[in-house]
A and B are shown apart, each in its own frame.
Chain A
Amino acid sequence: AAGVIQSPRHLIKEKRETATLKCYPIPRHDTVYWYQQGPGQDPQFLISFYEKMQSDKGSIPDRFSAQQFSDYHSELNMSSLELGDSALYFCASSSQGGVETQYFGPGTRLLVL
């Protein structure tokens, strides 16, 4: 079965640079979520989108923005990168209606030097 696709899988950036992470949800899923997992920590929710509209917001820094496009894929834009932004970034997708189980992608590992 098709799964959530994230790209790139690995990314190395310098401080103060920008990064764009992409997420392609499972076909026919209309909701996308972004989570951040720092070293030794549990995943923390950043933001979610349903039908291209922001639906929930967590502890996302103001330097980060995200959007969902008409084909339901989503992009997380990160500017003025800091060393503390080094983390795994997971995208999950779900289909609204019913229980709405979230399925996660393999993640993007971001390293800020």
Chain B
Amino acid sequence: DAKTTQPPSMDCAEGRAANLPCNHSTISGNEYVYWYRQIHSQGPQYIIHGLKNNETNEMASLIITEDRKSSTLILPHATLRDTAVYYCIVRVGGSARQLTFGSGTQLTVLP
């Protein structure tokens, strides 16, 4: 699975959009981009995934560049409860393969 690079930490004001970047320059054509988050010591929570098109669900939006070498997770209106470590993971879909967690981005939402 391709390696990802994320900034170690980011701050965001409550109510503003949080934009979390991820670089995955070695991504292969059959690899998906997944985003998970982990609120302190809780189980990682699935947020969203995409292959090449932009995706949106009730939690977030995922913007993938046309060359697929980077992506951005957008939380449109961050709240204090969105403070967590956010992991960008690149992985081939299917076949019961593991998720490889990198160091992620610690997002702190400030009041």
Contacts and interface: CB of A to CB of B under 8 A. Distances in A.
B81 interface: no
Given A103-B46, A104-B45, A107-B41, A45 B96 contact: no
A2 to B, nearest CB: 14
Contacts of A97: 94
B interface, by DSSP: helix, strand, loop or mixed? loop
B98 A104 contact: no
Contact of A42 (B41, B43, B96, B104): B104
A104 B33 CA distance: 18
A88 interface: yes
B104 A98 contact: no
A103 B95 CA distance: 15
A102 interface: yes
A14 interface: no
A99 B97 CA distance: 11
Contacts of B38: 43
Contacts of B46: 101-104
Contacts of B95: 55, 96, 100
B76 interface: no
Interface of B: 32, 34, 38, 41-46, 49, 87, 93-104
18 contacts: A4-B43, A31-B96, A33-B96, A33-B99, A42-B104, A43-B44, A45-B98, A48-B96, A49-B96, A50-B96, A92-B44, A94-B96, A99-B32, A100-B94, A100-B95, A100-B96, A103-B46, A109-B41
